[in-house]
Amino acid sequence: MKNEIRVTGSLVQAYTVCPRQAWLASRQICPDEDNVYLALGRLIDQQSYGREKKEIRLGHLCLDLIRRGKKQLVIGEVKKSSRAREAAKLQLAFYLHELAEMGIEAEGELLFPEERRKERVLLDEAMSQQITEIKEAITALVNEKQPPPPNKNRRCPKCAYAELCWA
């Protein structure tokens, strides 16, 4: 029997970094709440861009910030650093894809406040197709009875799920 899963931006980001992390998160298995990097990310998110409207929930989407741009809506995704830039970009592309499916046109900005930089993200046909494929892969992954085996990568030492993989 398959679980009905609603893919979220957090699952897209987690899947891109580590499929095992996405599987664990899909089961509401909480990461180590005392993980210093998790706490630091939350703090940066809370303290950055104070004048912007923050954490907007729209159905299954949880957008960090939203503002009116010159031509259209701008969705911002705040990240601690650009080290996981590709995962953050795909998470933001997922939001843009889902909004487009709702008939809401928007563009995105990846925001790295500690690095004092931002990066514009526009959803094109290729990126939209990539998001569709990632959503299918995540759905298949979370319907597996067991998580994928741990696969050591460079992010493991700072991961809040590390104890579940390497203890």
Measured distance CA(99)–CA(105) in Å, rounded = 7
Q: Residue 29: left if φ>0, alpha if ψ -120 to 50, beta else—which one?
A: beta
Looking at residue 80, its amino acid is: K
Measured distance CA(82)–CA(120) in Å, rounded = 13
Check residue 37 and give its pLDDT: 59
Supply the angle between the helices 19-26 and 125-142 in degrees, to the nearest 10. 60
Check residue 35 and give its pLDDT: 60
Domain boundaries, the chain: 9-161
Q: Specify the DSSP element, H or E, that contains 140.
A: helix 125-142
Report, in angstroms and rounded to the nearest whole number, the Rg of the chain calculated over CA atoms: 16
Full pLDDT tens readout for the chain, 167 residues: 455 678 999 999 999 999 999 999 999 887 766 766 565 556 556 666 555 556 788 888 989 888 888 888 999 998 888 888 999 999 999 999 999 999 999 999 999 988 999 999 999 999 999 999 999 999 999 999 999 999 888 887 878 887 878 77
> Closest Cα to residue 106, out of 74, 58, 78?
74
Please spell the DSSP secondary structure of 100-120, one letter per residue.
Answer: HHTT--EEEEEEEGGGTEEEE
CATH fold label, 9-161: Lambda Exonuclease; Chain A (3.90.320)
Check residue 52 and give its pLDDT: 59
